[in-house]
Amino acid sequence: MPPIVHPGGLLRRASTVNPVLVRETARQHGVVNAPTRPLLRAISAAVALLLAAALSGCGLTIPADPDGTLESVTGAELRVGLSADPGLVGTDRDTPTGSIPDLVTGFADGIDAEIDWTYGSEETLVGMLERGDLDLVAGGFTSDTPWIDKAGVTRGYPEIDGADGREIVMLVPLGENAFLSALERHLDERVGSR
């Protein structure tokens, strides 16, 4: 009989090999029989489904807001920072004007929130957003914003009136993905996205 070749080298001739020893040695060296692969996949899928069911039973939703922004502003106060940008945001009155404030107002109406407006420079507003003093920052921010490591950023919206082809984005607190998703759904309905 020919010798049995094993990943670790030559074992013994087939007539003297213990089949249990061969299986155990193969298992220890990572050799998996082809029929066990579908079983492993089925077990992995079942574990994933059980984990998903367990998490959904705990009230976990995806996307989620670790700090609860969407929940805290719904039916309450939405703190919005605006940076002036000609054609998009006018801040020369008590109530801001332009297409961006109109979009933010529509979003606030959709979640039954009252808006508290704050005007400032981009740097000041992003700092306030990071500290938790604002829930949303808007203005002439574009998809190539330098604030990407300090804030969550919506998709770019070039169809906003006054954007002049720029892909306008809005900023939210980092990690607040349910809030970001709700804002993007509103923007998608109002101006579409690419």
Alpha helices in 29-152 (DSSP H): 36-57, 69-73, 99-110, 122-131
Q: Is it the case that residue 9 has pLDDT exceeding 60?
A: no
Least-confidence region, from 22-31, 84-93, 102-111, 180-189: 22-31
User: Is the separation of the CB atoms in 179 and 135 below 8 Å?
Assistant: yes
User: Is the separation of the CB atoms in 2 and 14 below 8 Å?
Assistant: yes
Which pLDDT score is estimated for 192?
81
Q: 15-20 — which CB contacts under 8 Å span 24+ positions?
A: none
User: Is the separation of the CB atoms in 147 and 126 below 8 Å?
Assistant: yes
Which pLDDT score is estimated for 145?
94
Calpha distance 81→120 (Å, rounded): 7
Least-confidence region, from 60-74, 98-112, 130-144: 60-74
Question: pTM, whole model, 2 decimals?
Answer: 0.68
pLDDT band with cut points at 50, 70 and 90 for residue 79: very high
Which pLDDT score is estimated for 92?
86
* C-alpha separations of 99 from 73, 102, 108, 150, 191 in Å: 22, 5, 14, 25, 10
- Averaged over 153-178, what is the pLDDT? 95
pLDDT band with cut points at 50, 70 and 90 for residue 68: confident
pLDDT (tens digit per residue) in 108-144: 999 999 999 999 999 999 999 999 999 999 999 999 9
